[in-house]
Structure 1
């Protein structure tokens, strides 16, 4: 007697064949492996990155026009002021996200020094403290020359002992962004080109001549894409960890959680790939459609630069993008020690994007 047709075996056969085909595709390997690794290598060797010094001010800091030190400090392009609550600033300081918290208060007399400046820093930001100190000294020397030529100094500086903190390296920011870049490229371009070509080359039509159901075809192709991209994620994370010292706070647990998060992100991004493959009328229209979704995220979702560096009017747009929340969740898990259960906001927004994308994909996806 003949064996009953197995949908699962057919699905796994499709996955196996598709998996081999992906590795034979130069574009898949370049976008998934080469580009992210090149950026990681470049930023990893650069190490220190941009010289921008991020600082915060205490609630009691004098920010009036009378405080010449404060007004002059704002004019320096190397200084970026972060506006958060003091508790949030202290948390950022301990994690190396900002260089220092400054407290500037008038001495309450007309005698010099007119102001006292206290600089609270942490062991995580000592590398940029020298830049801040040098900037403040230049400002005070200039003010001494112009406003207090016969006085000891215009303002005095106090530097308390640094609070303990974990060093936030360049690779801790750039690697999650490049992993997200790889997932987005694979999910959108990979799926869009894959299913469009399967339809154009009548491969799907041949599948329909077999007993396999359509859902198993989708799952088979999806499994191969997911496996390939998870291998990519493993390679990127291992190179980051052992070559550049990428932080994995809880070690192997953090590593596994990042892989699970990568899986969630990839599934969401694949939804847009299905949309593009359904809308595209020929192969040349796929890149424009795909870039409408991917290019803004490459630039605005915190892939290469923190969204804090963008104008305030642009930041709400950045915070809508799904890649922003994937990158934030990855950085929270890898460096801050959060777990997946602590990333409810980011996972929720990714989930909403997934529901919307797949709802549209169902409407526009074409088999023939």
Structure 2
């Protein structure tokens, strides 16, 4: 009788199917991949992100040494942006990613102080800056001058000439910031915790050892588990995107194409984060050591990668650390694709950094991963 040749492809798919069913039955997988991100989306989408911070671009040549600028700088709500080019500031103003651009001309004796402000129609925070300008001390002096002028009848020269314009653009809602961050949260949790627990458990329960008694290849074991986790995570990502879009107005510029691009980025990010899981499963002695080791990797990224708060809100030295983390670049790429309509070719900078992380993580994983 002719014996059928053993098919590792079928073995891989069988492992993937079994693993997928196991993931669906795992409460922790459902909670971290779907429940937590959706809860955060609902909470943050409704509270609007807490206290507003007005991002104000500083035009080239703006008088930053003058009293008006210095008084504005003392206001905690104002976040001055000085490290962008004029073109970048204008583009970000139109998109609502910065709320205004201010240009204060140097004071000329016997001439009014000229202040030019461009607001963004895509942002609703321009009124905050206007209110602050109207309440700083020099406006109180103007009021006194106006009183004197009305009583005496003398024409007093204008002290401040404020020129205000509004630039039209698409409204940048808080859901457009928070959803990609929560999607990254879901992918990172699934990749690190899920992979670490699964492979450590398979090793400790001698399941992998039993696999070695069969013709199944080691690569089939890894691919099967990876396919199951990628499938589950992408279905979760799709669910989160659709809920965000239809219930909270999450922006998808190019519709289905944007969704597909976000899912491709999700898959790439998940593969990288699974590498962290392989490392942890290799160095962990038992299941009790997995959570602390995983938290060492995930917590800094949850807090510093623009998941809940913009990276620009951190001190400069902390931004350097934030910009080195892989989740930061995954979140940034997601936001560019979703809100700005960027394609994958437009986020090559983020993809390159993620690729570097891929090489580093899997180089370490190969050294640390254990089968038995």
Task: Measure the CA separation in 1 of the matches of 2:76 and 2:353.
Answer: 34
Summarize the alignment of residues 214-253 of structure 1 with structure 2, pairs less than 5 Å apart. Answer: 214-253=218-257
**Conserved in 1, the CA contact under 8 Å of 2:120 and 2:126?**
no
What secondary structure is seen at the aligned counterpart in 2 of 1:358? helix
Task: Measure the CA separation in 2 of the matches of 1:229 and 1:292.
Answer: 22
Spell out structure 1 runs of 4+ moving beyond 2 A: 47-50, 106-111, 140-156
TM-aligned CA deviation for residue 81 of structure 1: 0.5
TM-aligned CA deviation for residue 257 of structure 1: 0.5
For 2:43, the equivalent position in structure 1 comes to 42
1:156 equivalent to 2:161? Answer yes
**Conserved in 2, the CA contact under 8 Å of 1:148 and 1:154?**
no
1:133 equivalent to 2:137? Answer no
**Conserved in 1, the CA contact under 8 Å of 2:252 and 2:259?**
yes
What secondary structure is seen at the aligned counterpart in 2 of 1:97? coil
1:367 equivalent to 2:366? Answer no
Task: Measure the CA separation in 2 of the matches of 1:284 and 1:144.
Answer: 67
* TM-score after normalising by structure 1: 0.94
Greater CA drift, 53-62 or 170-179: 53-62
Structure 2 counterpart of 1:269, from 245, 269, 273: 273
1:80 equivalent to 2:85? Answer no
TM-aligned CA deviation for residue 147 of structure 1: 9.1
TM-aligned CA deviation for residue 109 of structure 1: 3.1
**CA pair 267-90 structure 1, distance change in 2 beyond 3 A:** same
Task: Measure the CA separation in 1 of the matches of 2:141 and 2:98.
Answer: 26
Summarize the alignment of residues 62-101 of structure 1 with structure 2, pairs less than 5 Å apart. Answer: 62-64=63-65, 67-83=66-82, 84-101=84-101
**Conserved in 2, the CA contact under 8 Å of 1:48 and 1:169?**
no
Summarize the alignment of residues 79-228 of structure 1 with structure 2, pairs less than 5 Å apart. Answer: 79-83=78-82, 84-106=84-106, 108-110=108-110, 114-125=112-123, 127-139=124-136, 140-144=138-142, 150=148, 154-160=159-165, 162-228=166-232
Task: Measure the CA separation in 2 of the matches of 1:305 and 1:149.
Answer: 45
Q: Once the two structures are superposed, what CA deviation does each residue of 1:154-199 show, in whole Å capped at 9, x if it has no partner?
A: 4232212x22211111011110000001100110000000000011
**Conserved in 2, the CA contact under 8 Å of 1:49 and 1:170?**
no
Q: Once the two structures are superposed, what CA deviation does each residue of 1:87-121 show, in whole Å capped at 9, x if it has no partner?
A: 1111110110111111111462325xx31212111
TM-aligned CA deviation for residue 48 of structure 1: 6.0
Q: Once the two structures are superposed, what CA deviation does each residue of 1:293-347 show, in whole Å capped at 9, x if it has no partner?
A: 1111111111111111100111111111000110111111111111101111111
1:350 equivalent to 2:350? Answer no
**Conserved in 2, the CA contact under 8 Å of 1:199 and 1:205?**
yes
Q: Once the two structures are superposed, what CA deviation does each residue of 1:236-285 show, in whole Å capped at 9, x if it has no partner?
A: 10011111111111111111000001000000110010000000011111
- Gaps spanning 5+ residues in structure 1: where? none
What secondary structure is seen at the aligned counterpart in 1 of 2:103? strand
- Gaps spanning 5+ residues in structure 2: where? 149-155
**Conserved in 2, the CA contact under 8 Å of 1:234 and 1:259?**
yes
Greater CA drift, 353-362 or 50-59: 50-59
Q: CA RMSD in A?
A: 1.7
**CA pair 146-57 structure 1, distance change in 2 beyond 3 A:** farther
TM-aligned CA deviation for residue 234 of structure 1: 0.3
Task: Measure the CA separation in 2 of the matches of 1:314 and 1:274.
Answer: 28
For 1:304, the equivalent position in structure 2 comes to 308
Task: Measure the CA separation in 2 of the matches of 1:324 and 1:46.
Answer: 23
For 2:335, the equivalent position in structure 1 comes to 331
Task: Measure the CA separation in 2 of the matches of 1:269 and 1:366.
Answer: 18
TM-aligned CA deviation for residue 142 of structure 1: 3.2
